[in-house]
A and B are shown apart, each in its own frame.
Chain A
Amino acid sequence: MKKFIIKRLLELIPVLFIITFVVFVLVYHAGDPVSLMLPEDASQEDREYMRESLGLNDPFIVQYANFVMDITRGNFGTSTRYDMDALPLVIERLPATFELAGAAMLVALAISIPLGIWSANRRNSYVDLFITGGSVLGKAMPNFWLGIMLILLLAVNYQAFPVSGRGTFMHLVLPAITLGTSVAAEMTRLVRSSMLDTLGQDYIRTASSKGVPYVKVVVYHAFRNTLIPVITITTLQLSILVSGAIITESVFQWPGLGMLLVQAVNARDMAVVQASVFIIAILVILINLITDLIYFIIDPRIKHS
């Protein structure tokens, strides 16, 4: 296991290197934050002062070399928008995003696992049709649409939840549902098909032939086997989670990484864009690693082989 982790971590190095290059190339060409920082009225000289003071006039190679050197020191440059170090700006936002993503994941699990299991066990019934239909619908429905609707209905009309912002548990509910739904939609389908697969396995028949009650067959015998493919694909769902978070955070004014990123892109605040993309990439990689480790816990076949 230790070997495995070390191997995976070593593989990271070239990956991270590729990421820095791609990100840098993009950012280098991404245009000029200066005009966005000054009003429409600013003259060319005004812009030139600003550009010089930001060190944006160096050639490509110099800038890239500086970039990589700086990154190894944890320095992603200074946010042109906030005039602060980019990395701390990004890191400060992580708790908010973790909170939202975690809650959304819980919502997604809470919705998708029972529904997926239920519809698998009632295959081709109306329940199944309804749940599968619902999950496709959830997948087909744009995220922000749901968010705005939830605000209109539950926050504005019924005033059951705060409209936006972060703070109490109540603030978390609507964004978590919004983001959770889009993940749940895909996951329900997944749990269902994985469950169907498992229910068709011989050992499920064995369990039934032993006289194990059906509910226990599903929960004790089938569920954990169902979970293994679900976990694999759930990590692939991360990108849905991230893109969903970007949009959900904007709708609910949730001060997380997604919102920072959107605003940084709009303001051409490239240091922040670089840092966020980099941090997100590392997080995705780490989560993949953690998933692999979860296999060790959940699937004895891996551990012993």
Chain B
Amino acid sequence: MKQRWEWLTFIAVLVFFLAACSGESGEVGTDNGTENGSVSDGNLVIAQSADITTLDPQDSLSTNGERIFRNMYNRLFARNQDMEIVPEIVESYENVDDETWHFNLIEGITFHNGEELTAEDVKFSLERVMTDQGLKEYPYFTQLVEVNVLDTYTVEIVTDGPMPTLQHVLAKSGADILPKDYVEEVGMDGFVENPIGSGPYQFVSWDVDSEVVLEKFEDYYGEPGIWDMVTVRAISESSTRVGELLTGGVQLITDVTPNEWDRVNDNEGTSLVQGETTRVMLLMNRLTEGFATSDERVREAIDLAIDQQAIVDSVLRGSGVPVRSRVPEGVFGTDPDLYDTYVHDKERAKELLAEAGYEDGLEITLTAPRGRYPLDGEVAELIAVMLGEVGIEVNLELLESGTFIDVYSENENEELIMIGLADGLLDASYSLVHYTIDRAAGQTDYNNPDVDQLFQDASRNLDEESRLQQFKEIQQVVAEERPHTFLYQDKVNYGVSDSIQFEPRLDEALYFDHIQPN
């Protein structure tokens, strides 16, 4: 009898013991229960809403990844706090002809394994991203034709024609320089397990869906890093993220939803910092024959029915700016006339609908995501009501992020689909390509040869001034013809501990060394 009991107890203890052991061995340095705001030990903990998906900077294409990679890797160019393009590891450069560029690298830059960064590494990295179709960054590098090593520190880049955005691309995610010898030695699989870059922080560990840990790289060629150790945690649950900030578990959190602002601001030792993003929320209209939205008057009525300012002020609590263009402020090519403005006139909207033959009402379907962008579902519900007020009955189809993006990419939506579009290149060419005939086909089916021509001209125009004009012109036309109905430019909200100083950037990247301890 006793024996049986002992057996059971033994099993129970064993199970618990195993559980406890696995708990101890599985993790590195999650214990960050530091007191509120103490960063004196040189450790910085950041929490973002989702984890990185890979350590391969050329296969990531995400803001979350960018926040890590910007500190681990170098690029030929970078953007400063004001989003101006500045050389990063380039000493000097020369535009040899319309299609050929020469770049001289800074000498003496070493990777985290001690090897020097040379022109060979640049050639290797850029060639990888411009030829490997499986890489997520590949589509942005297709305009590069050749990368040649002229000498140890000089690279030549040949483009497929005049390319006004070359520097934009070289400062963009995916243009990161990887160590050629190391990658060839351990293979790409080996590299992503233990990645090596030349940035101020080097890789320590990554627990998938949990955290990435980086430490200061002592032999960094520039100013040495100011943090000994940086942990970037992934906390998807918004209230949990805020909780960690409030209790001092982390010093900086991203994506604070408006309802949490008071919690962050009212708490002693933390405050809210608002930053701009390049993401513009908009409704895509179907101009395809057979849809009511193919009628320009209906599209205008929709725009007039929506009170963008009210949306921003109410649900978003001011975390956005009404716009009438896809190119937000801070991006090259923006038109200030279309920023911070909106049109709203319910009576005129009704008239337009009547003119278009819908005086008895109109029924349309609006597809919108839920949980993909901040408060997207709520905004869509508001829009549905606003359209209802002018006599457009909205059949609202709210979809979970994954399903939504399926519908979007397969163009299965009906009249309207709500989506947020960002500008990864910080150049209007990235945003305005949507209005070209090719890209619009099947999606908005917007077809304006003049706009198309303007866009083609601009994308080969090396003269900034006239290029800017071309972009503005496109935006003016689009604002009137409305293949897209613009809502607002999103803002991003950070929760920041008083123990650090933090300035948000338009590209939403984080440079650990721009975060100063107080």
A binds B: yes
Interface residues of A (CB under 8 A from B): 31-32, 34-47, 49-50, 52-53, 81-83, 89, 92, 95-96, 98-99, 102-103, 106, 148, 151-152, 155-156, 159, 162-172, 250-253, 255, 259-260, 263, 265-268, 294, 297-298
> How far, in Å, is B237 (CB) from chain A's closest CB?
6
Taken residue by residue from 205 to 247, chain B's Cβ proximity to chain A (1 for < 8 Å, 0 otherwise) reads as 0011111000000000000000000000111110110011011
Q: Which of B20, B207, B246 interacts with A255 by CB under 8 Å?
A: B207
Rank and list the top 5 A-B pairs by shortest CB-CB distance, nearest first: A95-B22, A167-B30, A35-B409, A53-B134, A102-B19
From B139, B234, B439, residue with most partner A Cβ within 10 Å:
B139
**In the complex where A36-B402, A39-B61, A43-B439 touch, is A167 in contact with B27 (Cβ < 8 A)?**
yes
**In the complex where A50-B134, A166-B26 touch, is A39 in contact with B208 (Cβ < 8 A)?**
no
Bound complex: CA of A92 vs CA of B205, how far in Å? 14
Q: 16 A–B contact pairs at CB < 8 A?
A: A35-B408, A40-B405, A41-B433, A42-B139, A42-B409, A43-B439, A50-B134, A81-B53, A83-B59, A102-B19, A156-B247, A163-B244, A169-B23, A251-B240, A253-B234, A298-B8
Taken residue by residue from 430 to 450, chain B's Cβ proximity to chain A (1 for < 8 Å, 0 otherwise) reads as 100110000100100000000
* Of B162-170, B416-424, B456-464, the one with at least 4 CB within 8 A of chain A: B416-424
From A81, A156, A165, A252, residue with most partner B Cβ within 10 Å:
A165
Cβ of B180 under 8 Å from chain A: no
- Contact check, A31 vs B402: say whether CB atoms are below 8 A apart: yes
**In the complex where A53-B133, A95-B26 touch, is A46 in contact with B406 (Cβ < 8 A)?**
no
- Contact check, A164 vs B136: say whether CB atoms are below 8 A apart: no
> How far, in Å, is A296 (CB) from chain B's closest CB?
10
Question: Who on chain B is nearest to A165 by CB?
Answer: B30
- Contact check, A35 vs B406: say whether CB atoms are below 8 A apart: yes
Question: Who on chain B is nearest to A263 by CB?
Answer: B209
> How far, in Å, is A73 (CB) from chain B's closest CB?
18
B209 CB contacts on chain A under 8 angstroms = 255, 259-260, 263
Cβ of B97 under 8 Å from chain A: no
- Contact check, A106 vs B16: say whether CB atoms are below 8 A apart: yes
Cβ of B15 under 8 Å from chain A: yes
> How far, in Å, is A17 (CB) from chain B's closest CB?
28
> How far, in Å, is A119 (CB) from chain B's closest CB?
23
- Contact check, A155 vs B243: say whether CB atoms are below 8 A apart: yes
B: interface residue count bin: 35 or more
- Contact check, A96 vs B54: say whether CB atoms are below 8 A apart: no
Cβ of B199 under 8 Å from chain A: no
Taken residue by residue from 240 to 262, chain B's Cβ proximity to chain A (1 for < 8 Å, 0 otherwise) reads as 10011011010000000000000
B235 CB contacts on chain A under 8 angstroms = 164-165, 253
Q: Which of A35, A46, A89 interacts with B139 by CB under 8 Å?
A: A46
Bound complex: CA of A43 vs CA of B138, how far in Å? 12
- Contact check, B4 vs A165: say whether CB atoms are below 8 A apart: no
Besides A41-B430, A43-B439, 5 new A-B residue pairs in contact (Cβ under 8 A), listed by A number:
A152-B239, A163-B247, A164-B249, A260-B209, A263-B236
- Contact check, B207 vs A83: say whether CB atoms are below 8 A apart: no
A167 CB contacts on chain B under 8 angstroms = 23, 27, 30-31
A168 CB contacts on chain B under 8 angstroms = 30-31, 33
Question: Who on chain A is nearest to B61 by CB?
Answer: A39
Within 8 A of A (CB), among B26-62: 26-27, 30-33, 53-54, 56, 59, 61
Bound complex: CA of A31 vs CA of B407, how far in Å? 10
Q: Which of A37, A162, A166, A255 interacts with B33 by CB under 8 Å?
A: A162
- Contact check, B208 vs A253: say whether CB atoms are below 8 A apart: no
Bound complex: CA of A51 vs CA of B208, how far in Å? 24
